[in-house]
Structure 1
């Protein structure tokens, strides 16, 4: 999905647009599977009881609340987090209801680094470290294909000079 053009300034083009790596969704998917399995198991256990209908409603309410909190919320957070590299800046946008964002102009970037663990290398993600004119380097975790992003960002910084 392309980044909305109305958020770009005149002459600015999107070079790269990423959401965080899909590994952020592993735990929410696991929670979903466990909750559904456990709810089905408990529903089967109480099916022979006279109060089974009330238990099923209670199980459904608890399951929906747990799935909503531990599966739906992380998915929406993942989907509404954007890491964008344009020809003029690096943008990070997060949130659906309460939004936050950060822009780093290419001219203010001093260095670009990446790091990833062996597990992150196998999954194809890592942490991008951008050192700008600010006091501390900014770290962006769970960037998919971090080495490619590093190269593209470095190229854009070099082209900006």
Structure 2
């Protein structure tokens, strides 16, 4: 199936893939770190548009927070997937596929496999950044709480000292 692709069609596919990468970079750069579901939805739509037979394809992004699906999945599919790694642990998967009745594993271009791997890496980096920000905020809250407790302790000690001084 791959050998029947003309040079012009190959170039069109590369343009679709590059457009997808550009859009995904833009979505990630402008994402709301506290609400990533719209970003993941936009990534799924963009990836579906970049696939060779996009009208019959489905895209599924499976994460702990949510599962995003575009397109229709049939009962029996051929697909390629890639693990989304978050700090070297699997945080989800990204999958593209077609109905098995009409397509075989050969329907996927090598560049599409590379695209899925790249997007899995980008999503993993975004999730890592989210975790880092959340950890920084938790540490900041803890430090602020400890500062308040320290100030409260100093005030209490000052009051106790003043009461003892007046009592004697």
Q: Same fold (TM over 0.5)?
A: no
Is the helix fraction higher in 1 or 2?
A: 2
TM-score range, shorter chain: 0.3 to 0.5
| Higher RCO (Cα < 8 Å, 6 or more apart) | 1
* Structure with the higher strand share, 1 or 2: 1
Q: TM-score, normalised by structure 1?
A: 0.34
